[in-house]
Amino acid sequence: MKSENRFDKWPDFRFNLEEIAGAIGDFGTLFPIVLGVAIVSDLNLGHILLFFSAWYIITGVYYKLPMPVEPMKVIGAIVIAGGLCKEEITASGIILGVFFLILGLCKGMKFIQEKVPSSVIRGIQMGLALLLFKTSINFVLKDSALSIICITIIILFYIANKSIHLADISAIVVILIGIVIGLSRYGIPQIRIFSLPTLIIPGVQDFLKGGWLLAISQVPLTITNAIISTSLLMQDLINREVEPDKLSISIGLMNLTSVPFGGFPMCHGAGGLAAQYRFGARTGGSNIISGLILIPLALFFASPEFVAIIPLGVFGALLVFVAIELGKHSLKTNSFTVTITIAILAVLTNMTIAFIIGMILAYAITKITKRHSG
Task: Determine contact, residues 123/340, Cβ cutoff 8 Å.
Answer: yes
Task: Determine contact, residues 222/92, Cβ cutoff 8 Å.
Answer: no
Instruction: Give residue 365's identity as a one-letter amino acid code.
Output: I
Locate the domains of the chain by residue range. Answer: 8-373
Mean pLDDT value across residues 178-190? 85
pLDDT given at position 242: 94
Worst-scoring range by mean pLDDT, 62-66, 156-160, 295-299, 364-368?
A: 156-160
How far apart CA 175 and CA 62 sit, in angstroms, is: 28
How far apart CA 57 and CA 226 sit, in angstroms, is: 18
Mean pLDDT of the chain: 86
How far apart CA 119 and CA 336 sit, in angstroms, is: 7
36 or 363, greater pLDDT: 363
61: pLDDT strictly greater than 70: yes
Would the pTM count as exceeding 0.85? no
